[in-house]
Homo-oligomer: A and B are copies of this chain.
Amino acid sequence: MRDVYVIGVGLHPFGRFGDKDVIEIGREAVVAALEDSGVAWKDVESAYCGTVFAGPMAGNKVLARVGLTGLPIMNLENACASGGSALRLAFQDVASGFCDIALAFGFEKMPRGFIAGNPNDWFATMGMAVNPQYFALNARRHMADYGTTEDHLVRVSVKNHRNGALNPYAMYRKVMSYEEIANSTMVNDPLRLLMLCAPNEGGAAVVVASREAAKRYTTRLIRLASVVLKSPLYGTAEVPYIAVSSQVEAPSVTRTASEAAYEAAGIGPGDLDLVELQDTDSAAEIIYSEELGLCGRGEGARLLDDGATEIGGRLPVNPSGGLLSKGEPLGASALGQVAEVVWQLRGEAGARQVSDARVGLTHVYGALGNCAVSILQC
Contact = CB atoms under 8 A, between A and B. Distances in A.
A21 to B, nearest CB: 12
A187 interface: no
Interface in A222-273: 228-234, 253, 256
A370 B73 contact: yes
A315 to B, nearest CB: 27
Interface string A210-231: 0000000000000000001111
A78 B77 contact: no
A1 B92 CA distance: 12
Interface residues on A, range: 35 or more
A227 to B, nearest CB: 10
A78 to B, nearest CB: 6
Please state the number of chain copies in the assembly. 2
A78 B67 contact: no
A335 interface: no
Given A85-B74, A98-B96, A56 B52 contact: yes
A302 to B, nearest CB: 29
A71 interface: yes
Interface string A62-83: 0110011111111111110000
A327 B369 CA distance: 34
Nearest to A234: B68
A95 B98 CA distance: 10
Interface string A302-316: 000000000000000
Given A98-B96, A368-B64, A56 B79 contact: yes
A92 B96 CA distance: 8
Contacts of A57: 77-79, 367-368, 370
A70 B256 contact: yes
A15 to B, nearest CB: 23
B367 A68 contact: no
Contact of A72 (B79, B231, B234): B231
Nearest to A95: B96
Given A57-B367, A89-B89, A368-B60, A232 B52 contact: no
B79 A76 contact: no
A161 interface: no
A226 to B, nearest CB: 12
Nearest to A2: B96
Contacts of A229: 72-74
A79 B231 CA distance: 24
B76 A231 contact: no
A368 B76 contact: no
A147 interface: no
A61 B96 contact: no
17 contacts: A56-B367, A57-B77, A57-B78, A57-B367, A57-B370, A60-B369, A61-B368, A67-B234, A69-B233, A69-B234, A70-B231, A75-B77, A75-B78, A77-B77, A92-B93, A92-B96, A96-B96
Report, nearest first, the 3 A-B pairs whose CB atoms are least far apart: A96-B96, A68-B234, A72-B229
